[in-house]
Amino acid sequence: MVLLHPLLTAAALLGASARAQSVVGTPFGFASGTTGGGNAAPAAPKDTNELKEWLADPNPRVIVIDKEFNFIGTEDTCTDCECCIPDSNTCGDAGQNAIKTEGSDWCGSYPATTCTYDNAGLEGMEVASDKTIIGVGDAGVIRGKGLRLVNGVSNIIIQNVHITELNPQYIWGGDAISLDGTDKIWVDHVKVSLVGRQMFVTGYESSGGVTVSNSEFDGQTKWSASCDGHHYWSVLGYGKGDQITFANNYIHHTSGRSPKIEFDSHWHAYNNFWENNSGHAFDVGEGANVLIEGNVFSNVKTPMNPEDTPGSTFAVNAQDASSCTSALGRPCIANELTSSGELSGNDEAVLSGWPKGEGDTKAMTTDKVPSYVKANAGVGKLGSGGSGAASSSVSITPSPTSSAIPSSIDNIFLGVPGRKDPTIPSAPFSISVAHPQGRTYHARSCYRRKEDSRHAS
């Protein structure tokens, strides 16, 4: 009988379901039909350079983010560079100064100053078509650089990844996820925090077929353009012809642009939870068409900015919920506001001109929204559901130059992040791994006798 060392057993299980990673659910809304990297063999890049290379190459890929990829310092630092002090910064170091970017006159006549920032954050990594980018547990972090989807790319899934720390001290410090001229994009179970500029942005070319779902936009910051610890630049839709489903998201501790939507676009916002917004949520510009239903606003000062909203909105209340049937094939769900300002807008032209490509959308009643969204939105919560159909499981193939055994065995067996030196059992042990289709794999391990030097420790 061949007896296996626990580490060898762990390595063997990497090819089976012990390190199985799932693309959970099925794209819905305007992103219906998105397949990402499809059946490409999942693989985990070994470092930041390989991650950038894989994201940009022309091959269909399933790219597994199984650890933190830290880009801070990888493209040098701009020391004592040109910046300015905008009128919004009335609180010094607790506010945001602005980077003076090349080719932009945004700083205008604002007082000049200098600042030091990380170059990597200014522009996101290019993502080519036919990619799935998926995190493992809550370990998938991209620090110091965002993702940039532009120039006609399509068929991309981003799921269960935390993007953070893009020069949060400075306006123009970096965008987390930016789209410009794309189609069939599904952003799901993503978390964004501590960015200098936008958490999610589209424009100026059309981004059709986009769904942003089950994601957390965390505006808590030490550097606030509104000088209150809340991030102002949150979600910006500037694409001409955008078609975006925005559902089941948690937007909190923001102070504006949550979202700001412009031009000839269609946004369907439902079952989102806005909480602790010290300024405005919706800012709907000319040409935009926005359907707002089944959302909950809690402690949101201004759910809709009335002074800057010449666009068309239909914000559902109990009286006009049935009006949606012709557009959605079901009644709408009324919005709910608690300790918040008014949410206005009843332009039925939004419904009569609604695009046919969104497909079925299923909305829950607002009494369920806060608890559901807070339990499901963001990273490390794929097992909680919230994206659609049951998961399809795939095994991770490490990069050929990467170690087949992860640094923390806990990440395989226990799913506990951050424990660096797990205790390996001194007695035989067994592992059972459940497969999503109902099968269960079993592995048994025991040590050789101590006199066998190959496995003694």
How many CB atoms are located within 10 Å of the residue 449 CB?
8
- Residue recorded with tokens 């239909």: 314
Please give the radius of gyration of the chain, using alpha carbons only, rounded to the nearest integer: 23
- Residue recorded with tokens 């942005």: 201
Cβ partners under 8 Å of residue 422, min gap 6 = 408, 409, 410, 414
CB-count exposure of residue 126 (10 Å: 0-12, 13-18, 19+) = middle
For residue 38, which phi and psi values (nearest 5 degrees)?
Answer: 60, -125
| Residue whose C-alpha is closest to residue 324's, from 276, 378, 360 | 360
Rounded to whole angstroms, the Cα distance separating 5 from 408 reads: 16
| Residue whose C-alpha is closest to residue 189's, from 384, 33, 31 | 384
| Residue whose C-alpha is closest to residue 290's, from 323, 314, 326 | 314
Amino acid symbol at 227: C
The encoded tokens of residue 337 equal 């506001």
| Residue whose C-alpha is closest to residue 183's, from 158, 159, 150 | 150
Q: Give whole-number Cα distances, 109 to 83, 84, 91, 233, 423, in Å.
A: 12, 9, 19, 21, 61
Catalytic residue among 143, 197, 257, 444: 257
Rounded to whole angstroms, the Cα distance separating 225 from 338 reads: 25
The size of the chain, in residues, is 457
Amino acid symbol at 178: S
- Taking a C-beta distance cutoff of 8 angstroms, is the pair 225, 88 a contact? yes
- Active-site residue flag, 257: yes
Rounded to whole angstroms, the Cα distance separating 375 from 253 reads: 17
3-state secondary structure of 192: strand
For residue 396, which phi and psi values (nearest 5 degrees)?
Answer: -85, 130
Rounded to whole angstroms, the Cα distance separating 248 from 126 reads: 27
Bridge partner list, 73:
none
Rounded to whole angstroms, the Cα distance separating 359 from 408 reads: 42
- Cα 396 to the chain's mean position, in Å? 21
Q: Give the catalytic positions in this structure.
A: 257
